[in-house]
Amino acid sequence: MLSAPARLAFALCLITLAVNLPAPLYITYADLSGQGAAATAVAFSGYVLGVLPVLLALGGLADRVGRKPLILAALALSMVATGLMSLAPGLQTLGLARMCLGLGTGLATATATAYMGELMGNAHGPRAATWVTASTSLGFGLGAALTSLFLLRGPSLTPGSFHLQLLLAALAMLLVWRLPDPRPAQRTPMLRLPCYPRGSMGYGLAILLAWACSGVVIALLPGILRQHGLSAWSGFSTFCVISCGLMFQPMARRLGSRTAALLGLLILPCGYAVLAWGAERGQLGAVLLGAVAASSACYGFIYLGGLAAVNELAGNEKTRASAGFFLLAYLGFSLPVIVTGLLSDRLGSRLALLVFGLVLVMGCLVVGVTLWWSARGQRQCGGAGRCSPQRVQRLGG
């Protein structure tokens, strides 16, 4: 029998697996709808319309109803989204499905780290963040890879990966149903805005840049690869740019949060440059190599280092601080993707990728300097773990 943390990790993996499950079919959906890269990017970013209400207005929901109901709701929404794409494939349905996925992922990620820590015990706080980042990193990339595997057997608008997700998500619901909910429901205000403890904003901006990079790759790279006859590899490139970051998380834990985030900011523009060059030239090896390098930053060093640092800085406000971290992450996952999609339609994919790359380089430089200087403030506070919850709440708003 799986342990309680393992059951929660399995559920988180299935929730995030659904998010990029249809990614290899984005170009097919665009062709069916007669649309281009900009419309695809807008449909892709419907995800954030679901995430934002949860992170901005429903911060107290986990305390009022408990942790487990939110995970169950997220699993149900992932199944609804997959069902919609199976019944009516197209860009319009994709936008609606991704809104459901955003709502579910927002419910899950806003409470996942706190819930995992409660299941493991308070002594395992850093380990809880590791389990959450590992399970979600695997899920986000695995869905696209599974769909690509099924598409290798032949083109289909409803590949077998859709049915597999529905089956496994139903199993995950049964496993989560039997989980304990250690924290009793409390009468707290529903509106609990995200907070940013002192020293945490740099980590939030770092994940914004990282997930902007992965969002551009997921939403726009399939169309570029198709120009070179490499459409079948789009799902694997999505897997590489997300899930391969899992391999670098043990190294990130040994380095420490700030060092890991800074290293990620150094690697990110380099990995993106290799990936973009390979995509534009039709060099599959360079695409996959650049995707793995970018993934080490996006879902390895920056994701794990940033989330662990934010939860350490947050004291008793872990749920609100995690919401603030993911709010910036999902803003990066949407707005830059839409802008780059518009540039791609008007100026061509090559110039669009170049503009995004230049902005990414400048952003990494600015955020890197911000993180470096924020360490001085943490030392003045006596270390991240010594900041009082009262001070965290006051600084977070």
CATH node for 4-178+191-396: 1.20.1250.20
Q: Rounded mean pLDDT of 222-240?
A: 83
Q: Answer whether 74's CB lies under 8 Å from 15's CB.
A: yes
* More confidently predicted of 128 and 70: 70
- pLDDT of 333 above 90: no
> Which sign does the torsion angle of CA 124, 127, 131, 137 carry?
positive
pLDDT tier for residue 382 given thresholds of 50, 70 and 90: very low
Among residues 144, 110, 145, 130, the alpha carbon closest in space to that of 303 is found at 130
In the chain, what percentage of residues exceed pLDDT 70? 88
* pLDDT band at 1; cut points 50, 70, 90: low
Task: Determine the Cα–Cα distance for residues 381 and 384; give it in Å rounded to an integer.
Answer: 7
pLDDT score of 393: 30
Q: Which of 101-105, 207-211, 228-232, 299-303 has the least mean pLDDT?
A: 228-232
What would the two tokens of residue 94 be? 């994709």
Whether residue 86 has pLDDT greater than 90: yes
pLDDT band at residue 388 under the 50/70/90 scheme: very low
Most confident of 64-73, 99-108, 373-382: 99-108
**Separation between Cα atoms, residue 18 and residue 93, nearest integer Å:** 14
| Mean pLDDT of the 271-298 span | 92
Number of residues in the chain = 397
Structure tokens given for 286: 């360079």
**Which DSSP string corresponds to 61-127?**
HHHHH-SHHHHHHHHHHHHHHHHHHHHS-SHHHHHHHHHHHHHHHHHHHHHHHHHHHHHH-GGGHHH
Give the pLDDT of residue 129.
75
Say which residue, 167 or 120, is predicted with more confidence.
167
Output DSSP code: residue 185.
P
Higher confidence at residue 328 or residue 392? 328
The band of 103, judged by pLDDT with boundaries at 50, 70 and 90, is very high
Over range 246-250, report the average pLDDT.
86
Instruction: Choose among 315, 141, 107, 347: nearest CA to 237.
Output: 141
pLDDT in the model for residue 122: 62
Task: Give the separation between CA 165 and CA 275, rounded to whole angstroms.
Answer: 29
Per the model's pLDDT, the better-predicted residue between 243 and 82 turns out to be 82
- pLDDT at position 337 over 80: yes
pLDDT digits (tens, 9 = 90+) for 308-319: 888 888 777 777
Domain ranges of the chain: 4-178+191-396
Question: pLDDT tier at 36 (50, 70, 90 boundaries)?
Answer: confident
Buried b (16+ CB within 10 A) or exposed e, 177-208: eebebeeeeeeeeeebebbbbbbbbbbbbbbb
Question: Of 161-165, 249-253, 392-396, which range is least confident?
Answer: 392-396
28: pLDDT strictly greater than 50? yes
Whether the pLDDT of residue 72 is over 90: the answer is yes
pLDDT at 60: 66
Q: What percent of the chain has pLDDT over 90?
A: 33
| From 18-22, 62-66, 73-77, 347-351, the region with the lowest mean pLDDT | 62-66
Distance (Å, rounded) from C-alpha 27 to C-alpha 35? 9
Q: Tens digits of per-residue pLDDT, 121-145? A: 765 556 787 888 888 888 888 998 8
In this predicted structure, what is the pLDDT of residue 94?
A: 92
Q: Is 297 within 8 Å of 271 (Cβ atoms)?
A: yes
Mean pLDDT of the chain: 84
Residue 389 reports pLDDT greater than 60: no
Most confident of 30-39, 111-120, 141-150, 372-381: 141-150
Q: What is the pLDDT of residue 185?
A: 61
Residue type at position 300: G
Is residue 392 pLDDT above 70, yes or no? no
